[in-house]
Amino acid sequence: MTEPQSLAGSDDKAAAPAAKPAARAVPERPHPSIFHYPIDMCDVSDKASLEAFREKLQQWSELFERDPDASLAGQFADMMWFDIAWRTANEARQFAEDDGTRGSTAPLIAMMLDRGYLAGQVIAITRLLEKAPASQPKKAVISLPRIVDEMRAARELITRENFVCRDALPYDYEALQAAELERLAAEMAANPGKARRVSLSLSGPEGFDQARMEHELFDQLSGVAPENRARGDLIGEAFFDRLDELLARPPLPEIKALRNKSIAHAADAFSRAQTKGLRSGLTIHDLDRAHYLLFAVFQTLSVVLFGLWRASPVPVPQHNMFEHLTEPYLAEKRLEAMRGFWDRHIGEREGWMQDAFREVVPDKTAAKTAPPEGGA
């Protein structure tokens, strides 16, 4: 950053000392706050603790779905979209026995679909399971274990009062609930035949019913009975242990080993032998189970941290996904052109074998006998 120039000229002997460099600006958040009410309106005894907790929630919300390139929601959407795309293409092959040979059963296409699907799913699953050294921020990743680990580290901030009142819900909701029920009862008594629709606020200082549900959820997370509730209650360690246990269930470890030893890295025979239960492939059931376990953690974190229930794991199509599926892959008259392409491609690559070798080990004899540039 350059310093501000002095107003006095460079030849001015009485020039004032140069101004101190301006403080480095704090970069603005790329996304608006997820909170609607200021901290002053939140019914908590420790405002500083709530401020730190809200800062964590804001960071986690960006990892969950606001990062444009690698958010957890985006990773899950890609994984499940390509999963259903392959399964749909694979389903079409099942009709070949009754309908006759189709492009869907062409070996060239089937090989690309199957191997690409397997590799893509293994990479997608293991990205969601990845861990990075906490001491090396340059290697930080967006994954489920990262959120779980950061939550566990910030456990002292996730008190009952911060959890319930993070966005101005009332901590002591019973009085508001009783007052509202009394008001409705009086209104019904005054107008017994009048039809009415009751609406309850789900947010802010009037959201007593939402506060009730938040307390009940925290009862389960903390293991504290309703009659023993206290503002300083914490989420129990058992909750985090449960999430860790889900992320370690089969076939997730086997899928990680398959990636590390076969897909992402070509491990040698000795290295492969050190991995117990290393598989050469996966079944559809394995992938179903892996998706299920990942969604168990993802959905739980979404509800606990943001109160957001995700209804469907598969993205909604924005176009006709069956378009052109009934068309042949290639017109018969183009087969000769395709064979010509195949032969040209192979010939070019065969030429590489000579040229690439000479890139490393030049033929000095040939260089001496070659005519100078521009001709003899």
Alpha-helical regions (H) of 168-259:
174-190, 208-222, 237-246, 252-258
Residues 57 and 34 sit within 8 Å (Cβ to Cβ)? yes
184: left (phi over 0), alpha (psi -120 to 50) or beta: alpha
Average pLDDT estimate for 17-30: 46
Return the pLDDT at 374: 60
CA gyration radius, the chain? 31
Distance CA 188, CA 343 (A): 85
How high is the mean pLDDT of the chain? 84
Question: For 200-228, what is the mean pLDDT?
Answer: 92
The length of the chain, given as a count of residues: 376
State residue 105's pLDDT score: 83
Average pLDDT over residues 162-180: 90
Alpha-carbon gap, residue 372 to 315, rounded angstroms: 62
Q: What mean pLDDT is predicted for residues 316-320? A: 89
- Token pair in block for residue 104: 């869907």
Nearest residue to 150 via CA among 213, 72, 76 = 72
Residues 271, 144 contacting (CB under 8 angstroms): no
pLDDT(100) > 70: yes
**Gap between the Cα atoms of 224 and 226, Å rounded:** 6
Q: What is the pLDDT of residues 256-277, one digit of tens each?
A: 999 887 776 665 554 545 545 5
Work out whether the CA dihedral 210, 212, 216, 219 comes out positive or negative. Answer: positive
Give pLDDT, residue 157: 98
CA dihedral 305, 311, 317, 321 (to 10 degrees): 130
Q: Hey, what are 343's tokens?
A: 């032969």
The overall pTM is greater than 0.85: no
Are 289 and 251 in contact by the 8 Å Cβ rule? The answer is: yes
E-assigned strands of 34-120?
none
Asked if pLDDT for residue 4 goes beyond 50, the answer is: no
Q: How many C-alpha atoms does 121 have within 13 Å on its Cβ side? A: 29
Question: What mean pLDDT do residues 162-176 have?
Answer: 94
- For 42, other C-beta atoms within 10 Å of its C-beta total 23
How do residues 38-73 score in pLDDT, each as one tens digit? Answer: 999 999 999 999 999 999 999 999 999 999 889 999
Report yes or no: 142 and 72 within 8 Å, Cβ to Cβ. yes
- Which has more pLDDT, 146 or 6? 146
- In DSSP terms, 159 is beta-bridged to 234
Pair of tokens at residue 38: 């200021």
Burial class (CB in 10 A: 0-12, 13-18, 19+), 235: buried
Point out which residues pair with 234 in neighbouring strands.
159
Question: Is the model more confident about 224 or about 282?
Answer: 224
> Model confidence at 375, in pLDDT bands (50, 70, 90)?
low
Dist. CA 80–CA 95, nearest whole Å: 24
Q: Which pLDDT belongs to residue 355? A: 92
285 alpha carbon, distance to own chain's centre = 23
Residue found under tokens 């018969």: 332
Instruction: Tell me the HSE value of 236 on the side-chain side, using a 13 A CA sphere.
Output: 13
What tokens were used for 195? 């039809």
